[in-house]
Amino acid sequence: MNERAPVLAVSSNLPWTPDSLRIKQVEQQVTALRSSVICAFNQLLDLKDLNTGVHSTRLAEWGMRVGQELGLEENQLQNLEVAALLHDIGKVGIPDSILGKPGRLNQDEYALMKKHPEYGWAVLRMLPGFERAALDILHHHESFDGKGYPAGLRETEIPIVSRIVCVIDAFDAMVSSRPYRVGLPHEEAVRRLIESSGTQFDPVVVQCFISFAQAEMATVFAAAGTSITSAL
């Protein structure tokens, strides 16, 4: 994961004093602690389900590209990186029998699965500095038309970070192979994104994402663990 300059970086024009040095050291410690917490949670995802952890790392890379293209501010990009990496952290509270079920979930199972954004929010909001990312995770299954969950937010009521994670999460799920199904061809996944643009997905985010996903088809499929040849 790329390290970023601390938000409260000391100006290079200031003279180095014992106090300014201590401030710099504290900032570095806070940044290192933040990175360690993110990595620890991501490892927890790997322990729960290796595909989930790798999936989250991939989403962070795609999400940062979309966020930069859309001109997000530095603090939003930091939250986006956390939300993309840890958007599924709430799934640690979902039984393995549901997470790994090969067939369609029944009504009760689906209702429990839909709780994972709330579980993730409940965990991360307790950590200082992760409150905003926790909200972004809470809303990453909202739909642009207001028919998503858990709050039924619509359009710009949904945080921009959540809208980005929603698109790239759906795409990755579509093209990735699972033990019980083969991933969709790239063209079909893109078609479904476009088809649901304006209903499930933010049209601006969709357009931004597919602009580079289409240009890098081979890389996208390699990252998703699916070959273009077999998928097509």
pLDDT tens sequence across 138-181? 999 999 999 999 999 999 999 999 999 999 999 988 888 776 67
pLDDT over threshold 60, residue 7 = no
Residues 6+ apart with CB under 8 A from 93: 115, 116, 119
Q: What is the pLDDT of residue 203?
A: 98
pLDDT over threshold 60, residue 202 = yes
Q: Which DSSP letter does residue 23 get?
A: H
- Does 202 or 14 have the greater pLDDT score? 202
DSSP letters, 70-106, are TT--HHHHHHHHHHHHHTTGGGGGS-HHHHT-SS---
Kind and range of the H or E run holding 54 = helix 50-69
Q: What is the pLDDT of residue 205?
A: 98
Residue 89 near residue 56 (C-beta atoms within 8 A): no
Q: Cβ–Cβ contacts within 10 Å for residue 127, how many? A: 14
Least confident of 114-118, 125-129, 205-209, 212-216: 212-216
Q: What average pLDDT does the chain have? A: 83
Q: What is the pLDDT of residue 176?
A: 80
Q: What is the pLDDT of residue 143?
A: 98
pLDDT tens-digit series, residues 84-102: 999 989 999 999 899 888 8
- Does 195 or 217 have the greater pLDDT score? 195
Average pLDDT, integer, range 116-145: 95
pLDDT over threshold 60, residue 50 = no
For residue 221, name the pLDDT band (cuts at 50, 70, 90): low
Whole-number Å distance between alpha carbons of 71 and 42: 26
Least confident of 41-45, 84-88, 123-127: 41-45
For residue 229, name the pLDDT band (cuts at 50, 70, 90): very low
